[in-house]
């Protein structure tokens, strides 16, 4: 089989989620490592956490592919006594490269939000309006639901520990907008395009208030639960794209939200 490199993996991901789709403020791409370095094992995860680095080291991986960038803002120092510096030090010492596909993967066809829409059973999924590229999606439930039934359905579909429901009134849900992660900015646009409900995470109090005033239900299933499904799909995509190369793809299967119910 053919030798795989960091660049070959990067090219495969860029075919799915071209960097041009990323928001201007984002920082996707190769964040650490040598593009020419050989890769025999890849570990796919949502966040480059200490325990995920440990898992990649345990697997003897040469590359971590993550959704959230390890390095997001400009850094002026790399101190090994601080969290980011510790991670960078461990990664370099263990010859681990890091690649991230973030908002470009949110926007891409077959990316985060198409996967989210599929997980909650939406059909006829499309971008907002006539937009060629859109981070959020609109789809239709095969059977209309009440707000409470839909919230329970989302919780079960995403295997979420809990969801928060913003009940905007006594009307059924047929058309649904979705945006994984923190997508509350799209709620009112989803209403404009005919949605009766919107699924996302990280909804704030006044965003919930605006949703009620605009008569659109909101299900806040959390940042983690709305994005974690992409890990498996991205790993499967890479297995298919790199099937002629001498490389194995492992995926994070340990669900780990920062928020706990107490």
**What is d(CA 28, CA 66) in angstroms, rounded to the nearest whole number?**
10
More confident residue, 147 or 74: 147
Q: Span 244-252, mean pLDDT?
A: 98
Give pLDDT, residue 239: 98
Contact 43, 65 (CB under 8 A): yes
Please determine, for residue 242, whether its predicted confidence score (pLDDT) is greater than 90: yes
Radius of gyration of the chain (CA): 19
Give pLDDT, residue 261: 87
**What is d(CA 51, CA 6) in angstroms, rounded to the nearest whole number?**
22
Please determine, for residue 55, whether its predicted confidence score (pLDDT) is greater than 80: yes
> Residue 232's beta-bridge partner residues?
none
Please determine, for residue 146, whether its predicted confidence score (pLDDT) is greater than 90: yes
Q: What is the pLDDT of residues 175-207, one digit of tens each?
A: 999 999 999 999 999 999 999 999 999 999 999
Please determine, for residue 130, whether its predicted confidence score (pLDDT) is greater than 90: no
Contact 235, 12 (CB under 8 A): no
> Residue 64's beta-bridge partner residues?
43, 98
Query: Structural domains in the chain?
Result: 6-105 (3.40.1390.30), 109-226 (3.40.1390.30)
Q: What is the pLDDT of residues 81-115, one digit of tens each?
A: 999 999 999 999 999 999 999 999 999 999 999 99
CA angle at 37 for the pair 11 and 61, rounded to the nearest 5°: 90
Give pLDDT, residue 207: 98
Residue 256 banded pLDDT, cuts 50, 70, 90: confident
Give pLDDT, residue 238: 98
**Complete DSSP assignment for 51-110:** HHHHHHHHTT-SEEEESS-S--S--S---TTSHHHHHHHHHHHTT-EEEE--HHHHHSTT
Strand intervals (E) in the chain: 29-32, 41-45, 63-66, 97-100, 122-127, 137-145, 164-166, 173-182, 197-201, 217-220, 248-251
């Amino acid at each position: 089989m053919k030798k795989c490199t960091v660049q070959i993996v990067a090219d495969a991901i860029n075919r799915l989620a071209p960097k041009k789709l990323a928001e201007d403020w984002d920082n996707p791409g190769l964040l650490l490592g040598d593009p020419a370095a050989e890769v025999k094992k890849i570990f796919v995860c949502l966040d480059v956490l200490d325990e995920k680095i440990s898992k990649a080291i345990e697997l003897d991986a040469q590359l971590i592919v993550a959704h959230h960038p390890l390095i997001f803002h400009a850094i002026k120092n790399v101190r090994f006594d601080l969290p980011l510096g510790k991670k960078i030090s461990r990664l370099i010492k263990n010859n681990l490269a890091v690649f991230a596909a973030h908002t470009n993967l949110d926007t891409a066809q077959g990316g985060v939000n198409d996967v989210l829409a599929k997980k909650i059973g939406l059909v006829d999924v499309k971008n907002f309006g006539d937009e060629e590229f859109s981070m959020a999606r609109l789809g239709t439930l095969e059977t209309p639901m009440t707000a409470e039934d839909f919230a329970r359905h989302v919780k079960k579909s995403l295997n979420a520990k809990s969801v928060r429901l913003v009940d905007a009134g006594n009307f059924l849900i047929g058309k649904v907008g979705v945006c994984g992660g923190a997508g509350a900015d799209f709620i009112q646009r989803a209403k404009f395009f005919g949605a009766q409900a919107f699924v996302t995470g990280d909804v704030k109090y006044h965003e919930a208030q605006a949703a009620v005033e605009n008569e659109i239900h909101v299900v806040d299933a959390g940042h983690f639960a709305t994005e974690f499904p992409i890990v498996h799909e991205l790993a499967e995509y890479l297995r298919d794209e790199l099937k002629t190369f001498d490389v194995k793809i492992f995926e994070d299967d340990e669900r780990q939200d920062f928020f706990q119910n107490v």
